[in-house]
């Protein structure tokens, strides 16, 4: 190297350093920031939930706690097949219900005898948790576990003695099965149950006090510091996104609670019948298109999605669920496969130095980010594509390691010689709830990522991003332009026929509020039979004898829970005098998931049906939105 070259190189290096020192320092973090584990977790986006236990065999969503372990016998269970199905669909992990509210432990726990050692499966030597954990490890697929705090089997539930049992269960699951990426503590707490034979109602008061979640969190951190803790009265890392429909609460979505970073997880079953597998559920599977909306309303708002796919009584996934999962998975993979903004040239209104300039938006590196100087909260960036492209989804990501900052943004496209707004900036106070704004939604918060599906595809080679409000200088790591795959590219899901429903034409009604009883048979989910008392009942006269095999019940659908029937009894008669009970039980989990419930009973002939609402939610009153009698 000549002296001149050496001097030039040294000068460039020095100037670079000076440049860096003057303007290229990273901004200080703003507000609460996520832990490394939370960052990693958010980047997983979506994973499977697997509800599989005694309820799989009883057609129930919530077992009472007195079910026999003898029923659990999944002759064809294949954890490997389940894990590879999830992986193939693009899921990033799975969480298994090691124990649901019925208290049955699907691993050979030392904490209670109500466990899998009493099941005929593998002659009492089976361990579902182990089989899933091993298959996951083999496929490098993160494994997590759900352990219901509410235990309707345990005699000690509601007293101090149960805590030893519960803590022991947590310890076993976090010690014997390798790394657990997430542990789930359910929110359903206390109520009636078997409780070792007491068959009574047990109220635990404030869950946080009873379970001592501060202690639980401490114990978990000691055993597995990398494990994400769901729930635990918000003492953990992640909280429930507030529905069991898969949408993340409201949008805008902030990951901030006071001084703490708290992320959101939206949960939903792929099948409308519930979290556990139910006979004949095939036709109730959600379509790939619907799952895409769920994805946009959860991951697309900055949360994670946990999608339940339940094994059947053989221990296999339902083919209808698998078809829809795979079709949605393919759709998602295609959506994310081509980013038309990748490597596009970016001219930003401002940046705090080269390391933070506009091109960081389109470099495909999730860690680098574009950031203006401190104090600038409304910068803009023009993105020039190498060639015109057609897209209809815009994705943005913030560098969340530095905190969540952006409250609203706008995107424009250069169309026919002018800037046209394609994502309107959100205004303060506006909210998208449920599935609102899935198409044509506004630009509010970003967080880990936001996906905005435009009302129609746009073709252009120039796009402009404007941050319209932020709490501190925005740090935007990625800007992408994507194309939603068309619905035709997805595999069709074979419909499986529902049980045959009797026509209610000409039927007569008596009993309480019998003038409203026809509303439970009118095919209109928005009208209902209701009566101010519980228990209550009405009588159906089908005017002639039918062979009945079961019924389905749709709880009230108006968003209210008061008077929602949660316990029922069905009696049949041929003469309206002598009655025989054919079905009796509980509709579990209606508060969180008020979906249609199906009950079968041994076929019986009858002309009269008496439906009893024996318990209901939230005070007195009984209601039924729809009742269908099956033959
Ligand atoms: C709810 C439970 O009550 C349901 O049965 C299900 O496990 C769901 C994921 O959480 O709170």
Cα angle 296, 62, 312 (rounded to 5 degrees) comes to 70
d(CA 236, CA 229): 5
| Interval between CA 590 and ligand 1 midpoint (Å) | 10
- Asked if residues 154 and 165 have their Cβ atoms less than 8 Å apart, the reply is yes
In this predicted structure, what is the pLDDT of residue 18? 30
Cis, bond preceding 535 (omega within 30 deg of 0) = yes
For the CA of 276, the nearest atom of ligand 1 = 5
Work out the end-to-end distance of the chain between its first and last CA atoms, rounded to an integer number of angstroms: 92
Nearest to 104 by CA among 16, 40, 164, 193: 193
**Whose C-alpha lies nearest to ligand 1, atom 6?**
275
Q: What is the DSSP letter of 498?
A: P
| Interval between CA 365 and ligand 1 midpoint (Å) | 37
Q: Which of 275, 308, 597 to mutate to test the pocket of ligand 1 (most atoms within 8 A of CB)?
A: 275
Rg, the chain, Cα only: 28
| Interval between CA 331 and ligand 1 midpoint (Å) | 28
In this predicted structure, what is the pLDDT of residue 190? 83
For the CA of 100, the nearest atom of ligand 1 = 7
Q: Which of 54-58, 296-300, 357-361, 495-499 has the lowest mean pLDDT?
A: 495-499
For the CA of 97, the nearest atom of ligand 1 = 7
Instruction: Write the burial class of residue 290 (CB in 10 Å: 0-12 exposed, 13-18 middle, 19+ buried).
Output: middle
For the cut 60, the answer to whether the pLDDT of residue 90 exceeds it is yes
Which H or E element spans position 296?
helix 288-298
| Interval between CA 395 and ligand 1 midpoint (Å) | 31
pLDDT digits (tens, 9 = 90+) for 572-601: 999 999 999 999 999 999 999 999 999 999
CA distances from 509 to 124, 341, 514 (A): 50, 64, 6
| Interval between CA 48 and ligand 1 midpoint (Å) | 14
**SS3 label, residue 137:** helix
d(CA 364, CA 360): 8
For the cut 60, the answer to whether the pLDDT of residue 6 exceeds it is no
For the cut 50, the answer to whether the pLDDT of residue 289 exceeds it is yes
At residue 406, φ and ψ (nearest 5 deg) are -80, 130
| Interval between CA 186 and ligand 1 midpoint (Å) | 6
| Interval between CA 469 and ligand 1 midpoint (Å) | 38
Cα angle 46, 50, 56 (rounded to 5 degrees) comes to 155
- Asked if residues 101 and 63 have their Cβ atoms less than 8 Å apart, the reply is yes
Within 8 A by CB and 6+ apart from 117, the residues are: 108, 124, 125
For the cut 90, the answer to whether the pLDDT of residue 567 exceeds it is yes
Q: Which residues line ligand 1 (CB under 6 A)?
A: 61-62, 186-188, 267, 275, 589, 592
| Interval between CA 200 and ligand 1 midpoint (Å) | 21
Read off the pLDDT of each residue in 223-246 and give the average, rounded to a whole number.
94
For the CA of 146, the nearest atom of ligand 1 = 7
pLDDT digits (tens, 9 = 90+) for 465-505: 999 999 999 999 999 999 999 864 445 555 555 669 999 99
In this predicted structure, what is the pLDDT of residue 249? 84
d(CA 48, CA 184): 13
Instruction: Write the burial class of residue 78 (CB in 10 Å: 0-12 exposed, 13-18 middle, 19+ buried).
Output: middle
| Interval between CA 191 and ligand 1 midpoint (Å) | 14
**Whose C-alpha lies nearest to ligand 1, atom 10?**
186
For the cut 60, the answer to whether the pLDDT of residue 1 exceeds it is no
| Interval between CA 184 and ligand 1 midpoint (Å) | 10
Q: Which of 63, 188, 309 to mutate to test the pocket of ligand 1 (most atoms within 8 A of CB)?
A: 188
Q: Which of 593, 595, 597, 617 to mutate to test the pocket of ligand 1 (most atoms within 8 A of CB)?
A: 593
**SS3 label, residue 222:** helix
Within 8 A by CB and 6+ apart from 8, the residues are: none
Within 8 A by CB and 6+ apart from 503, the residues are: none
At residue 137, φ and ψ (nearest 5 deg) are -60, -40
For the CA of 184, the nearest atom of ligand 1 = 9
- Beta strand 182-184 with 228-230 is parallel
- Beta strand 143-147 with 182-184 is parallel
pLDDT digits (tens, 9 = 90+) for 515-549: 999 999 999 999 999 999 999 999 999 999 999 99
d(CA 151, CA 146): 13
| Interval between CA 310 and ligand 1 midpoint (Å) | 13
d(CA 293, CA 438): 7
In this predicted structure, what is the pLDDT of residue 173? 98
| Interval between CA 124 and ligand 1 midpoint (Å) | 27
Nearest to 299 by CA among 331, 258, 262, 267: 267
- Per the listing, tokens 């954890």 go with 79
**Whose C-alpha lies nearest to ligand 1, atom 4?**
589
pLDDT digits (tens, 9 = 90+) for 166-203: 999 999 999 999 999 999 998 878 899 999 999 999 99
| Interval between CA 287 and ligand 1 midpoint (Å) | 22
pLDDT band, very low/low/confident/very high, at 44 (cuts 50, 70, 90)? very high
Give the pair of three-digit tokens for residue 54: 């005694």
Q: Which of 58, 190, 244 to mutate to test the pocket of ligand 1 (most atoms within 8 A of CB)?
A: 244
- Per the listing, tokens 């539930």 go with 157
d(CA 572, CA 548): 9
Q: What is the mean pLDDT of the chain?
A: 93
Within 8 A by CB and 6+ apart from 50, the residues are: 82, 94, 95, 96, 97, 132, 308, 309, 310, 311
SS3 content of the chain, % helix, strand, coil (to 5): 25, 30, 45
Cβ neighbours of 305 (radius 10 Å): 27
| Interval between CA 589 and ligand 1 midpoint (Å) | 7
Q: Which of 62, 239, 592, 595 to mutate to test the pocket of ligand 1 (most atoms within 8 A of CB)?
A: 592
Within 8 A by CB and 6+ apart from 560, the residues are: none
pLDDT digits (tens, 9 = 90+) for 370-398: 999 999 999 999 999 999 999 999 999 99
Read off the pLDDT of each residue in 81-107 and give the average, rounded to a whole number.
98
In this predicted structure, what is the pLDDT of residue 186? 87
| Interval between CA 475 and ligand 1 midpoint (Å) | 37
Q: How many helices (H) and strands (E) does the chain have?
A: 10, 26
Stated pTM of the model: 0.92
pLDDT digits (tens, 9 = 90+) for 411-445: 999 999 999 999 999 999 999 999 999 999 999 99
Which residue(s) pair with 346 in the sheet? 383
């Amino acid at each position: 190297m000549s002296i001149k070259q050496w001097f030039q190189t040294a000068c460039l290096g020095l100037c670079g350093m000076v440049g860096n020192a003057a303007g290229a320092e990273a901004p200080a973090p703003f507000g609460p920031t996520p832990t490394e584990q939370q960052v990693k977790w958010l980047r997983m986006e979506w994973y499977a939930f697997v509800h599989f236990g005694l309820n799989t065999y009883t057609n129930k969503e919530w077992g009472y706690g007195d079910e026999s372990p003898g029923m659990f016998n999944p002759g064809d269970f294949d954890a490997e097949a389940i894990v590879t199905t999830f992986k193939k669909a693009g899921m990033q992990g799975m969480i298994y219900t090691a124990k649901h509210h019925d208290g049955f432990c699907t691993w050979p726990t030392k904490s209670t005898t109500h466990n899998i050692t009493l099941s005929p499966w593998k002659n009492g030597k089976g361990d579902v948790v182990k089989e899933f954990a091993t298959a996951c490890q083999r496929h490098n697929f993160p494994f997590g576990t759900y352990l219901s705090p509410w235990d309707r089997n345990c005699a000690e539930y509601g007293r101090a003695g149960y805590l030893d049992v519960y803590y022991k269960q947590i310890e076993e699951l976090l010690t014997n099965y390798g790394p657990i990426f997430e542990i789930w503590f359910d929110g359903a707490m206390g109520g009636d149950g078997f409780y070792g034979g007491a068959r009574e109602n047990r109220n635990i008061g404030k869950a946080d006090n009873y379970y001592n979640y501060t202690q639980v969190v401490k114990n978990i951190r000691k055993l597995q510091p990398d494990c994400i803790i769901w729930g635990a009265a918000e003492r953990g890392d992640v909280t429930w996104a507030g529905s069991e429909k898969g949408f993340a609460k409201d949008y805008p979505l902030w990951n901030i609670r006071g001084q703490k970073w708290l992320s959101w997880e939206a949960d939903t079953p792929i099948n409308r019948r519930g979290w556990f597998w139910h006979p004949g559920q095939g036709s109730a599977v959600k379509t790939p298109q619907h799952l895409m909306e769920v994805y946009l309303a959860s991951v697309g708002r900055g949360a994670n999605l946990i999608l339940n796919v339940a094994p059947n009584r053989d221990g296999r996934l339902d083919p209808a669920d698998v078809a829809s999962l795979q079709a949605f998975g393919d759709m998602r993979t295609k959506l994310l496969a081509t980013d038309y903004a990748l490597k596009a040239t970016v001219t930003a209104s401002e940046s705090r130095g080269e390391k933070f300039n506009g091109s960081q938006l389109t470099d495909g590196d999730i860690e680098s980010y574009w950031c203006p100087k401190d104090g600038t909260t409304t910068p803009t960036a023009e993105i020039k594509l190498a060639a015109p492209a057609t897209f209809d989804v815009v994705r943005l990501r913030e560098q969340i390691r530095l905190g969540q900052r952006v409250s609203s943004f706008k995107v424009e496209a250069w169309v026919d010689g002018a800037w046209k707004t394609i994502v309107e900036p959100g205004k303060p106070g506006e909210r998208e709830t449920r599935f609102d704004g899935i198409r044509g939604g506004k630009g509010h918060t970003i967080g880990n990522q936001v996906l905005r599906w435009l009302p129609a595809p746009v073709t252009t080679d120039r796009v402009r991003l404007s941050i319209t409000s932020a709490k501190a200088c925005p740090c935007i790591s990625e800007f992408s332009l994507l194309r939603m795959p068309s619905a035709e590219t997805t595999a069709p899901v074979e419909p499986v026929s529902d049980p045959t429903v009797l026509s209610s034409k000409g039927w007569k009604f008596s009993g309480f509020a019998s003038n409203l009883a026809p509303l439970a048979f009118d095919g209109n989910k928005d009208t209902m039979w209701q009566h101010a008392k519980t228990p209550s009942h009405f009588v159906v006269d089908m005017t002639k004898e039918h062979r009945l095999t079961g019924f389905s019940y749709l709880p009230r659908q108006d968003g209210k829970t008061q008077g929602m029937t949660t316990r029922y009894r069905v009696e049949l008669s041929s003469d309206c005098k002598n009655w025989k009970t054919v079905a009796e039980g509980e509709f579990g989990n209606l508060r969180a998931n008020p979906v249609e419930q199906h009950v079968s009973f041994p076929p019986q002939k009858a002309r009269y049906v008496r439906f009893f609402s024996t318990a209901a939610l939230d005070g007195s009153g009984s209601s039924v939105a729809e009742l269908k009698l099956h033959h």
